[in-house]
Structure 1
Amino acid sequence: MGNRETKSDVILIGAGIMSATLGTLLKELVPEWEITVFEKLANAGEESSNAWNNAGTGHAALCELNYTVEKPDGSVDISKAININEQFQVSMQFWSYLVNSGLIQNPQDFIMPLPHMSMVQGEENVSFLKKRFEALSNNPLFQGMEFSDDPEKLKEWIPLIMQDRNLNEAIAATKIDTGTDVNFGSLTSMLFDHLKSKNVDINYKHSVNDIKHTSEGLWELKVKNLDSDTVERHTAKFVFIGGGGGSLHLLQKSGIPEGKHIGGFPVSGIFMVCKNPEVVEQHHAKVYGKAKVGAPPMSVPHLDTRFIDNEKSLLFGPFAGFSPKFLKNGSMLDLITSVKPDNVLTMLAAGAKEMPLTKYLIQQVMLSKEQRMEELREFIPNAKAEDWDLVVAGQRVQVIKDTEAGKGTLQFGTEVITAADGSIAALLGASPGASTAVHVMLEVINKCFPEHMLEWEPKIREMIPSYGMSLMENPELLHKIHDSTAETLGLIEKELVLS
């Protein structure tokens, strides 16, 4: 047993984008607070935040069709798209503040301008896309969006997708030039470098094995130092569990009532990647299609330009994979050990309700490379197998909980679970996750430190000028913020070239 013990104001579990964001916000709000971080891996941003473990889309609902649903009367509900766009604007403002304050440098190392497009085929889908475009383009958040069903125009926008395409079927696309490609792994590393310079105690190769509430009202963590193979004890007034798929087990160990009746189902993503410069140079956009009937929302196929480690590549997917691990670096027992007496009925109810998802996952796992190539050819008709390799992306744990919709409902968003006294919070779930990290972490701060909010609000407004306001309802402020963030993050000059 190791004899190292620390007492902190705040402990962050997991060195991903969420902990990086929360730690950075708190250091700006209360620089004197002592913050300790524990990460099982050797570096920051190596699990879900790693550039190869997520799609790298700055999710602002510019192109993702699953954020806009067609209602029974044929109209398109854009409320979720508005919500996600507003949340991404909050992230952009905070990143701009960090750059302007000199807290991080070289924004081009983590964010690049890239057109966001939606593309559909078939009369019914084209009709839906046109209605979606009309609903969004009237909204100031989506200003600048274009629609076309003219093959000649589409050849200008997406030459690689239109090359050798059979045009017997109706095809249409929307395009907006203010989209982004975001390397969340790079951003996470930058933020942890900044936190280290602010004397945050960052401990890599440290695995949190247990967590319990003490009689003094503190949280005590049992942490294994993986290098020395010793066990340490650390206490804090507030704990944030931001361990990706690993958060569920720690939430269960905390014993808080809010963590009961919650389960998780792991889904891994597989992408196809192309690094052949001749092919890569023919495509410059993130192009999202429509999920197939019966497929879950996170399976929307998309063809993306990516900028990773100063190299441009193309990514296509995701194809679903299955592993019982909750993290890429997790244990094969993760799924089975997450089933507890309080959530077993919830999990069983989900299993009974989600048979189509199970069938879909089995079909996806069984796909050969040639079958995956056939799906890719729906986007790139002349795609050659030798230009494309498979890359296994990160594990995502979809939250299962009891809701008004019934027992064992699968949730496809990001969930924050907070103790009634605000002393502990855990982040569960998946997309749009990283893109909305700042909004989500402000939510955590609001719920967990309500007694400080009046005092902290001026600083929050300095970091996020639109805090507490709807940008959609304040078009002047929206334009002002959009222009300033685009300029600070190095997006404006290139946007003009693209438009």
Structure 2
Amino acid sequence: MSNKQTRTDVILIGAGIMSATLGTLLKELVPDWKITVFEKLANAGEESSNEWNNAGTGHAALCELNYTVEKPDGSIDISKAININEQFQVSTQFWSYLVNRNLIRHPQDFIMPLPHMSFVQGEKNVTFLKKRFEALSNNPLFQGMEFSDDPEKLKEWIPVIMNGRTSKEPMAATKIDSGTDVNFGALTRMLFDHLKSENVEMNYKHSVEDIKQTKDGSWEVKVHDIDSGKVKYHKAKFVFIGGGGGSLPLLQKTGVPESKHIGGFPVSGLFLVCNNPEIAAQHHAKVYGKAKVGAPPMSVPHLDTRFIDNKKSLLFGPFAGFSPKFLKTGSNMDLLSSIKPNNLVTMVAAGAKNVPLTKYLIEQVMLSKEQRIEELREFIPHAKSEDWDIVVAGQRVQVIKDTAAGKGTLQFGTEVINAADGSIAALLGASPGASTAVHVMLEVLEKCFPQHMKEWEPKIKEMIPSYGVSLVENPELIREIHTSTAQTLGLSEKLPLQIARQSVS
């Protein structure tokens, strides 16, 4: 590469929620470090973090049925739900810290209280939901959850879903009022505005073309200025690749051993958006159902109230689809060019294993609007096609890797890949993604800066009081955190009744 380099301490690639979170954490921990950001689009939060490209759910496992699995003995495994809930609590604590310090303002612009519900039909599913409710409601993290299979009660909770429903099939729902709708696009832009005020160098319309490690262990990043056409080189001791679906190709360019034998499978999505404000006004919740057999977890159907641009919207979906692009603004060659000699076997094995998933995605792509409306009618029986428009959501790239389960195993979570020396890290994967960004970025710090963690720990605990503590084993701390974050973020009115009472007493 070139000898003409601009030196910095940290390079963040991609101006999404992950880079925004990591940059904000680092600025609090080591204010004198120089941070440089490169984003190929014209603004922050335009790809996976954009409010129209994700469900906006504050994922805390309150309503997502795929986070609680029924075991062979009939019991419900809630361990994943507990982990995800605790991770979301980490996010709300950090956001509260930023609001309390006036580093970001007007939390109502990015987070709103909203009930989270699960809705199922059929005797088997109702039995599962009741067992899930019993397992979760006994846990202090899920206090305030209600269950009902009474049609009259369900009409109170979800009138749009129950209106005109004539089926005698059993149905049931759970409801918890401490759920949230999060505008991750707005939050991302707020965080980058803050970072810019802290002298973080923001470079939009700059595409990273190559990343190479130098003899001294630093990284040299080749950057293309899209407007001027010029190519520049930047050198940093640490690089974070937070480019959403674009992270995998960049990670592969590094050549680190950890980047090998990993592939990516892109999944696109569509939502139906209600254009009739009268219908949108009648629904006030995020209501999640069960995924169809063969569908990826990210395709769990849900009817969502959203708050975008200070306007209440109603979305249904997602409908999964397939595109070879790794980003919404990517290239049709993304998937093909990601196949390398070191991951070819992994990718072939994944293809052989996931024929039913491929078939499902093809079927989803071929759906007409009316067929999508028919699926919506499972939630809203009398839905009219003219009341709904189709919006193309974001791209997600599921990680494919060799695991104990075999070669080419498709992963549905979020995963940090870092070099052994901690000098570079990348975030791959999808759900629960943005909701757990703070937890995931703390994981990056722990993996890449172990030599600093003891020194940083007091500040981290100031920002995130539960850091290093199991919330589920500390009910008193849960109450304190729920109360303080709800007050700071403007969620107090929707505190679970038990917690509200306890905080008053």
Question: Do the aligned residues in 2 keep the contact of 1:22 with 1:441 (CA within 8 Å)?
Answer: yes
Instruction: Please report how far the alpha carbon of residue 377 of structure 1 lies from its aligned counterpart in structure 2 after TM superposition.
Output: 0.2
TM-score by length of 1: 0.98
CA distance in 1, matches of 2:205, 2:321: 27
Q: Secondary structure at the match of 2:471?
A: coil
Matched, 1:420 2:420: yes
User: 2:99 maps to which residue?
Assistant: 99
User: 2:397 maps to which residue?
Assistant: 397
User: 2:249 maps to which residue?
Assistant: 249
1:238-292 CA-partner distances (Å, limit 9, x unpaired): 0000000000001000000011000001000100001311100110000000011
Q: What one-letter code is carried by the residue in structure 2 that aligns with 1:458?
A: P
Give the 5 Å matches for 1:110-149.
110-149=110-149
C-alpha distance 496-453 of structure 1, shift in aligned 2 (>3 A): closer
User: 1:61 maps to which residue?
Assistant: 61
CA distance in 2, matches of 1:492, 1:370: 41
User: 2:233 maps to which residue?
Assistant: 233
1:130-160 CA-partner distances (Å, limit 9, x unpaired): 0000000000000000000000000000000
Query: Percent identity between the aligned chains?
Result: 82
Q: What one-letter code is carried by the residue in structure 2 that aligns with 1:402?
A: D
Instruction: Please report how far the alpha carbon of residue 5 of structure 1 lies from its aligned counterpart in structure 2 after TM superposition.
Output: 3.5
Matched, 1:205 2:205: yes
User: 1:480 maps to which residue?
Assistant: 480
Q: What one-letter code is carried by the residue in structure 1 that aligns with 2:272?
A: M
Q: What one-letter code is carried by the residue in structure 2 that aligns with 1:30?
A: V
Q: Secondary structure at the match of 1:12?
A: strand
Q: Secondary structure at the match of 2:393?
A: strand
CA distance in 2, matches of 1:257, 1:170: 53
Instruction: Please report how far the alpha carbon of residue 2 of structure 1 lies from its aligned counterpart in structure 2 after TM superposition.
Output: 10
Question: Do the aligned residues in 1 keep the contact of 2:249 with 2:338 (CA within 8 Å)?
Answer: yes
User: 2:429 maps to which residue?
Assistant: 429
Q: Secondary structure at the match of 2:80?
A: helix
Give the 5 Å matches for 1:292-307.
292-307=292-307
Question: Do the aligned residues in 2 keep the contact of 1:3 with 1:232 (CA within 8 Å)?
Answer: no
CA distance in 2, matches of 1:494, 1:120: 24
1:305-335 CA-partner distances (Å, limit 9, x unpaired): 0000011110100101111100001011000
Instruction: Please report how far the alpha carbon of residue 194 of structure 1 lies from its aligned counterpart in structure 2 after TM superposition.
Output: 0.2
CA distance in 1, matches of 2:242, 2:495: 34
Q: What one-letter code is carried by the residue in structure 2 that aligns with 1:147?
A: F
Matched, 1:276 2:306: no
1:413-467 CA-partner distances (Å, limit 9, x unpaired): 0010010000000000000000000000000001100000110000000000000
Q: Secondary structure at the match of 1:278?
A: helix
Q: Secondary structure at the match of 1:47?
A: coil
User: 1:410 maps to which residue?
Assistant: 410
Count residues in correspondence: 498
Instruction: Please report how far the alpha carbon of residue 167 of structure 1 lies from its aligned counterpart in structure 2 after TM superposition.
Output: 3.4
Question: Do the aligned residues in 1 keep the contact of 2:176 with 2:496 (CA within 8 Å)?
Answer: no
Q: What one-letter code is carried by the residue in structure 2 that aligns with 1:370?
A: E
Q: Secondary structure at the match of 2:265?
A: strand
Q: What one-letter code is carried by the residue in structure 2 that aligns with 1:24?
A: T
Q: What one-letter code is carried by the residue in structure 2 that aligns with 1:287?
A: V
Q: What one-letter code is carried by the residue in structure 1 that aligns with 2:297?
A: P
Question: Do the aligned residues in 2 keep the contact of 1:2 with 1:231 (CA within 8 Å)?
Answer: no
Q: What one-letter code is carried by the residue in structure 2 that aligns with 1:326?
A: F
Instruction: Please report how far the alpha carbon of residue 295 of structure 1 lies from its aligned counterpart in structure 2 after TM superposition.
Output: 1.5
Q: What one-letter code is carried by the residue in structure 1 that aligns with 2:226?
A: L
CA distance in 2, matches of 1:166, 1:294: 28
Deviates more, 1:40-49 or 1:289-298: 289-298
Deviates more, 1:188-197 or 1:5-14: 5-14
C-alpha distance 260-361 of structure 1, shift in aligned 2 (>3 A): same
User: 1:16 maps to which residue?
Assistant: 16
Stretches of structure 1 lacking an aligned partner (at least 5 in a row): none
Question: Do the aligned residues in 1 keep the contact of 2:143 with 2:496 (CA within 8 Å)?
Answer: no
Q: What one-letter code is carried by the residue in structure 2 that aligns with 1:153?
A: K
CA distance in 2, matches of 1:326, 1:75: 38
Q: What one-letter code is carried by the residue in structure 1 that aligns with 2:210?
A: D
TM-score by length of 2: 0.97
Q: What one-letter code is carried by the residue in structure 2 that aligns with 1:409?
A: T
